[in-house]
Structure 1
Amino acid sequence: MTSSNVRILSAAVALAFACIGGSAGAQSTTQKAENAGEKAWDATKSGTEKAWDATKSGTKKAVKATEKGAKATGKAVDNVASDAAAGTRKVGDKIGEKIPGTAQNEAVKKGEKP
């Protein structure tokens, strides 16, 4: 073999190894990109699930707090209405004591409490 053939053969072998190495490098880079994509997808999915769970939990707490507030408000309104009705009856009884012919007036005449 002549020295020029050895040089050409060496160059061809080197080029073949370079192509194989380049292909393997490209394949490795593609694999890394796929892995990074999968990790990003998993992180997004996990973050979305956590956000959904937090939203559900917060909504449940808000509903319970609203229900509790509504019950307390209803109870307060009921108490005020009952007190107002009792006060109105008391005033009506006082007025009735002064009007002849009413049950309250007759009770006062007899010395009873209306």
Structure 2
Amino acid sequence: MLINVFKSKIHRVKVTQAELNYVGSITIDEDLLEAAGIRENEKVQIVNNNNGERLETYAIKGRRGSGVICLNGAAARKAQPGDIVIIISYAWMTPEEAEKHQPVVIFPDENNRIVK
């Protein structure tokens, strides 16, 4: 049996753009993706702290060091620039793997940069 377990999250980043006329997804600064262990095209859940919206989409790489968090396509209707969101990834694991798993949590600064 496999269970779906919280793998990682980028906690409280600011949406920098919302592009309605784009083919779906969320664009995330590559530095943030790497730090959270989220791969390009991986399914992610977005939780909007400003309006309570939740959605699932897939991640695409944004320019490294740019701080970009851009909701694209229909997802652009769920947030606007300035909203604070949490980006969560999950992984399928056996219960034994899940018992040992330690999720990665990234806490970026107010400019969506990794705090060192």
- Report TM bin, short chain: under 0.3
Greater percentage in strand: 2
Structure number, greater radius of gyration:
1
Greater percentage in helix: 1
